[in-house]
Amino acid sequence: MSVVIQKINRAKPEVVNELGACGVATVHEAQERKGLMAPYMSPIYAGARVGASAVTVLVPPGDNWMIHVAVEQVTPGDILVVATTSPSDAGYFGELLACSLQARGCRGLVIDAGVRDVRELTEMGFPVWSKVVHAQGTVKKTLGSVNVPVVCADALVQPGDVIVADDDGVCVVSSEDAGNILQKAQARIASEDEKRRRLAAGELGLDMYEMRERLEQCGLKYV
């Protein structure tokens, strides 16, 4: 059955934004190494970093009709997360859809398939994380669903979940846990600032983390 679920639970905007500022690696660690998408998900240009709420789209292979349907469900601060019902490398998404999404305040696209118009998307500053760049067009013949749970690049995404994406990839945080994970992520950052200062001053991690004794117990030999 093909459905569009119109009401989803998003995390608070400031939590979403601040999770985005923490970055993928930190957020992934803060939630005990869960929720990371597969490493084949790459940004089409370097330097983008976003936090946003997921509007999920489940599409058939080679058919982008439902993305048009999903645009209407986007509110400012959202990101589209597109998964396919079976693997596809087709280019589901290009400049015109980005133009429409950007007009609605959408922060980007995460798609477990192909994207095209990379040059135009880069000029627009519309970030995309995708499996592949592929100009191959799609059709508009078969329905899918909007705002149902999807498996995207090995990660389960519920509509409204927080998506954090940057040059390191894409991480998913459940909307209920978002506040809690943000606290942990910010605590990590605070503790890393101090460590960074000490390491930059030449202190060794071996000493700072007090690893020497345990290494010796494990049997490490210096020769």
Residue 159 touching a copy of itself (CB under 8 A):
no
List beta partners, residue 59.
84
- Under the criterion CB under 8 A, does residue 213 sit at the interface with a copy of itself? no
State in angstroms the smallest separation of the CB of 207 from a copy of itself. 9
Residue from 176, 174, 177 nearest 161 by CA: 174
Interaction between residue 42 and a copy of itself (CB under 8 A): yes
Does residue 21 touch a copy of itself according to CB under 8 A? no
Cα dist from 66 to 14, 58, 78, 139, 195, whole Å: 29, 8, 17, 11, 47
Window 44-103: residues binding a copy of itself (CB under 8 A): 45-47, 49, 60-62, 65, 68-69, 71-72, 85-91, 94-97, 99-100, 102-103
**Considering beta carbons, is residue 14 or 207 the nearer one to a copy of itself?**
207
Task: Let me know: does 160 contact 53? Beta carbons within 8 Å.
Answer: yes
Q: Residue 206, class by beta-carbon neighbours within 10 Å (0-12 exposed, 13-18 middle, 19+ buried)?
A: exposed
- Residue 191 Cβ vs a copy of itself, minimum distance, rounded to whole Å: 10
| Pairwise CA distance, residues 65 & 39, whole Å | 27
Residue 132 binds a copy of itself, judged by CB under 8 A: yes
Q: How far is the CB of 155 from a copy of itself (least distance, A)?
A: 7
